[in-house]
Structure 1
């Protein structure tokens, strides 16, 4: 907790200015990650103090950024374990410190959320069993505008198969972006993948999570402040 105390506001929460990092990270590059050889090798109790041996993480916020939406998940679903996955070192450090501080400020709360620094494009099957997850979120993913970098995008046919592997039948994939070109790219790949079907507008509108997708995350809040556009789609694992 010393790091949190040194980087804290009067509220007890860490300050983002101590954790600033470049917005982009190359997910294809070799980073230094620690990951289990098999999901059974990972000790989730190191992240969730009250998790039992027969409980599993059910929600995954991939590219969780500074953790705003992850905190919202913890508040909305106190009985569900949610994990944030973030590739950037300082950003993931911030989320971890933020959760530690929240647990100290609010005893017995926020024990159902945690963050791991990892590359979700490579290591999801190392952490999650087949059909384990109920919801996966991709909120404001890096658009990687240059054509040469489209291979870095978090959604493509091969990766969708990996996401389908860790999703249970009927599990949901939520995607929000403010980049229309990326939205078109995502729709193209999802609509052509045999393991997903698009969720109807009425079902999306009635989902209690839908309003939170717009500005619970820091990136979403920035888009709202700048009066930018939002492009939302939700698909279901067949």
Structure 2
């Protein structure tokens, strides 16, 4: 730890702008009705109020909250439509049936989650992000979007399938705790998009794809599931592809097989980093792998 204390670091990371206030609903056409004038509505957050360092040390103790096992995880806060609260007398019809199936590791500002949520409204998706303020931004973004969707008339063209009830984010260190959140073979898709390249040799042990971590990802990814990697750093692409190709439980998928895959297209283009690379006319390197069947 630097000269600043841990508490000071946490206080700095938690700085963020207001996430609530009075705003117009999309259906008012710029005019508040008497009933709406005194109702506090969530505002879509602005990134400038969520200042955060670009990188986080994944090896220090961030005092993260995580369940002892996946069965101990309370998902009701993240997906209230799909899970009953602990003090709820009885679950409603359809609750406590689904499980999270897609995980965006290092989700950043949630671009992929927000793009995929209405495309696959019956699939529960989770972003995992270690940075405090970035996690808070995505949390506020989802909450504001859900509320905005709920206020739209059913016939509105802006109404999205699922109303973003199938997407959430959690502050977590996937390198340490991914198996605390997901059962064996629970996930069908896992994304590693524009991860920190850690250029220095002594820092490469902090890369999100390493031989040891691949065993963890193979554990939570079901046979037939897909692991997506996208980066604008050729060296990192070669590193990830090398280790994945050498792992017996991952089979490379030719990029030509996924040309028409809307999920891969969203992974390439919907994140903040992906958009930045496009603006700068940079290259993107893609490598996708299918989880092999378990050996007998």
- Shorter-chain TM-score bucket reads over 0.9
Equivalent position of 1:184 in the other structure: 238
Where does structure 1 lack aligned partners over 5 or more consecutive residues?
Answer: none
| Correspondences of 1:139-178 after superposition (within 5 Å) | 139-178=193-232
What's the CA shift string for 1:167-216, capped at 9, x where partnerless?
A: 00000000000000100100110010010000122321132212212220
In 2, the alpha carbon distance for the partners of 1:113 and 1:122 equals 22
Where does structure 2 lack aligned partners over 5 or more consecutive residues?
Answer: 1-16, 27-42, 83-94, 151-161
Q: Report the Cα offset of residue 8 of structure 1.
A: 8.3
Equivalent position of 2:137 in the other structure: 94
Q: Report the Cα offset of residue 9 of structure 1.
A: 10
SS at match of 1:227: coil
SS at match of 1:46: coil
Change over 3 Å in CA distance of 1:206–1:215 after alignment to 2: closer
Q: Report the Cα offset of residue 46 of structure 1.
A: 1.3
Aligned length, in residue pairs: 237
Q: Report the Cα offset of residue 7 of structure 1.
A: 11
In 1, the alpha carbon distance for the partners of 2:112 and 2:216 equals 23
Equivalent position of 2:164 in the other structure: 110
Which of 229, 244, 251 is the matching residue for 1:197?
251
Which of 10, 19, 34 is the matching residue for 1:4?
19
**RMSD, matched Cα:** 1.8
| Correspondences of 1:23-172 after superposition (within 5 Å) | 23-51=54-82, 52-107=95-150, 109-172=163-226
TM superposition outliers: structure 1 runs of 4+ over 4 Å: 6-11
Higher relative contact order (CA 8 A, sep 6+): 1
Change over 3 Å in CA distance of 1:23–1:9 after alignment to 2: farther
Residue 19 (1) aligns with residue 50 (2): yes
